C-alpha cells in the first residue's frame, strides 16, 4: 500500500506551489497525499493578490481528524502564516512525535510577497526547528532564521550549522552563493554533503521549494534514508525545472510529472 504523507501548508489557487504542488509531488512519488490548509492565497504566476489565514483552531481540528483515521508516515510543513497557527501546528505535532518532519520555512513567495507575519522567523526558530527531521530554507529564509549574513558558501554553511544548533536534526541549504553550479548543501549528523546541478536558463521556478521539500517527505515516508531522500529530491526538482513548459505570464510552475 502506498504510504500516506501529510502536508500542512497554504493553498495556491494557481496550483503551482503550496499544498497543491505538494499533493502532485506525493502522487508522483507513489504516496497517498493528505492536506491541512493553513491559509488561502489568491494568486497566479504573476502575483499574490490576497492572503487569508485560517483560525488556528481550524488547523488543529484538521490535524486531529487526519491523525485519528489516517496517521501519516511523514509530514511536511509549508506556509503557516502567523504565530498562532505555528504554535498550534507545533503543539499538535509535538504531541504526535514519530513520523519524520520536513519543515519548509516559507516566508516569502517567488513574487516577493510575504507569506508570513514579521515575527514568523522567531516563531519558526523556537517552535518548529526543534521538531524538524530536516529544514529546507532558501538563502533569504536561512538568513532570517540564523540571524547571519550570507554572502559566500562558507557563510551559508555556518548559518546552516546554526540551525542545527537550534534543534533541527538536518538542514538543506538551497542556492549556495558563489558557485558556478546550482549548489545545495545538506548538513546532518554525518557532516556536509554537496548537491550540485547544472544552472538552468528557465522562466519556471514557481513552487520549486515546496516541491523539493515534498519530494523529500515522500521519500522518507517510503522508508528511504535521509541522504537518499534528499539526493532523489534534488534530481527530481532539477528534472522538473528542465522540462517545465511556459504556463501563465509570470513564474511558470514546474513539470511535476518529470
With 60 as the cut, is the pLDDT of residue 240 above it? yes
CATH pick for 4-137+203-253 out of 3.30.110.30, 3.40.50.1100, 1.10.1040.50, 3.40.1190.20: 3.40.1190.20
CA separation, residue 116 to residues 84, 111, 242 (Å): 11, 14, 30
Write the pLDDT tens digit of every residue in 181-202. 999 999 999 999 999 999 988 8
Distances (CA, A) of 214 to 47, 50, 78, 161, 169: 23, 24, 9, 22, 17
Q: Which residue has the cell 499544498?
A: 19
Q: Residue 233 in contact with residue 249, Cβ under 8 Å?
A: no
Model pTM?
0.96
- Element (H or E) spanning 24, and its range? helix 18-28
For residues 118-130, give the mean pLDDT.
90
Break the chain into its structural domains and give their ranges: 4-137+203-253
The dihedrals phi and psi of 246, each to the nearest 5 degrees, come to: -60, 130
Q: 204-206 and 252-253: which strand pairing?
A: parallel
Tell me what pLDDT residue 110 has. 56
Q: Would you say residue 19 has pLDDT above 60?
A: yes
**Whether residue 120 has pLDDT greater than 90:** no
- The answer, yes or no, to whether residue 116 has pLDDT greater than 90, is no
Distance from C-alpha of 58 to C-alpha of 34, rounded to nearest angstrom? 16
Task: Please indicate whether residue 74 or residue 119 has the higher confidence score (pLDDT).
Answer: 74
List pLDDT tens digits, range 132-173.
Answer: 999 999 999 999 999 999 999 999 999 999 999 999 999 999
Q: What is the pLDDT of residue 204?
A: 87
Which single residue is written with the C-alpha cell 522538473?
240
Amino acid at each position: 500500500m502506498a504510504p500516506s504523507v501529510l502536508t500542512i501548508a497554504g493553498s495556491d489557487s494557481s496550483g503551482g506551489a503550496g499544498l497543491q504542488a505538494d499533493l502532485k509531488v506525493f502522487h508522483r512519488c507513489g504516496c497517498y497525499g493528505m492536506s491541512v490548509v493553513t491559509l488561502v492565497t489568491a494568486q497566479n504566476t504573476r502575483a499574490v493578490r490576497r492572503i487569508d489565514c485560517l483560525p488556528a483552531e481550524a488547523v488543529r481540528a484538521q490535524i486531529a481528524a487526519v491523525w485519528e483515521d489516517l496517521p501519516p508516515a511523514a509530514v511536511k510543513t509549508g506556509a503557516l502564516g502567523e504565530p498562532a497557527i505555528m504554535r498550534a501546528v507545533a503543539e499538535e505535532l509535538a504531541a504526535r512525535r514519530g513520523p519524520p518532519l520536513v519543515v519548509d520555512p516559507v516566508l516569502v513567495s517567488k513574487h516577493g510577497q510575504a507569506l508570513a507575519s514579521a515575527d514568523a522567523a522567531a516563531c519558526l526558530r523556537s517552535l518548529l526547528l526543534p521538531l524538524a527531521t530536516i529544514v529546507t530554507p532558501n538563502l533569504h529564509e536561512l538568513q532570517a532564521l540564523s540571524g547571519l549574513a550570507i554572502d559566500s558558501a562558507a557563510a551559508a554553511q555556518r548559518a546552516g550549522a546554526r540551525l542545527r544548533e537550534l534543534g533541527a536534526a538536518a538542514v538543506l541549504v538551497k542556492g549556495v552563493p558563489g558557485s558556478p553550479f546550482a549548489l545545495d548543501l545538506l548538513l546532518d549528523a554525518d557532516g556536509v554533503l554537496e548537491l550540485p546541478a547544472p544552472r538552468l536558463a528557465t522562466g519556471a521556478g514557481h513552487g520549486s521549494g515546496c516541491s523539493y521539500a515534498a519530494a523529500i517527505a515522500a521519500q522518507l515516508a517510503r522508508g528511504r534514508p535521509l541522504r537518499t531522500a534528499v539526493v532523489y529530491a534534488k534530481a527530481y526538482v532539477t528534472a522538473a525545472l528542465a522540462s517545465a513548459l511556459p504556463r501563465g505570464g509570470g513564474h511558470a510552475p514546474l513539470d511535476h510529472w518529470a
